[in-house]
Chain A
Amino acid sequence: NAGVTQTPKFRVLKTGQSMTLLCAQDMNHEYMYWYRQDPGMGLRLIHYSVGEGTTAKGEVPDGYNVSRLKKQNFLLGLESAAPSQTSVYFCASSYSGGQTGNQPQHFGDGTRLSIL
């Protein structure tokens, strides 16, 4: 099993450009998440999904859009990149847990994104 795979690993964009980050998981997890990690700020939730075809906003959703057309994939889009979106982006997935409650998250290796 590859686990959680993020594409690309690095990217440099110019202000105003758009791009899509891809997250793929092969563990049949229901839940998927996108975070950004900035120095001293920890992991902040951008958007998440509790199942195919569903998405919800997290703590810092502005400037980002997401889609979950297939259970195994969760896409994060930046329509018009801004320097403030320079960050390391992590995708994660987890089982829903059902009656046992929340489950551990499995993270990808991250995407380092720089906006000039």
Chain B
Amino acid sequence: GENVEQHPSTLSVQEGDSAVIKCTYSDSASNYFPWYKQELGKRPQLIIDIRSNVGEKKDQRIAVTLNKTAKHFSLHITETQPEDSAVYFCAASLATFGKGTHLIIQP
């Protein structure tokens, strides 16, 4: 089955700086890669996703890149703000999630 590795487990950045979270996957047949944000005590919510026929996708300050050859994809958040503090999860295949990254935005 699919296996998803996510790094780092914790990321602390200064407000206004960029943050990058990376994931690798094992199943070359996977074709859909969503990212979810989970605030403390809340449900995970989709923030951006990418399909295997696209290399990059942007939505305002958030972007995702996909390298199918290397089987890895990354979440990029620019100009980070306090409200970006949360746990971020990547996923691949039907329902295989990474273990999450706790993003901390330092004022």
List residues of chain A with CB under 8 Å of any chain B CB. Answer: 33, 35, 40-45, 48, 58-59, 90, 97, 101-105, 107-110
Contacts and interface: CB of A to CB of B under 8 A. Distances in A.
Nearest to A33: B95
Interface in B76-104: 89, 93-100
B44 A43 contact: yes
A102 B97 contact: no
Interface residues of B, number: 23
Given A90-B43, A90-B44, A108-B43, A45 B95 contact: yes
A102 B44 contact: no
A107 B31 CA distance: 21
For the complex of A and B, list the 9 residue pairs with the smallest distance between their C-beta atoms, beginning with the closest: A102-B32, A42-B99, A107-B43, A43-B97, A104-B46, A45-B95, A42-B97, A42-B100, A107-B44
Interface of B: 1, 6, 9, 31-32, 34, 36, 42-46, 49, 51, 89, 93-100
B102 to A, nearest CB: 10
A43 B88 CA distance: 11
Contacts of A108: 43
A1 B51 CA distance: 27
16 contacts: A42-B89, A42-B100, A43-B44, A45-B95, A45-B96, A48-B94, A59-B96, A97-B32, A101-B51, A102-B31, A103-B32, A104-B46, A107-B43, A107-B45, A108-B43, A110-B43
Given A43-B89, A105-B44, A105-B46, 11 more contacts: A40-B9, A42-B6, A45-B95, A48-B94, A48-B95, A59-B96, A101-B32, A104-B46, A105-B95, A107-B43, A109-B43
A36 to B, nearest CB: 11
Given A42-B100, A90-B44, A58 B95 contact: yes
A30 to B, nearest CB: 12
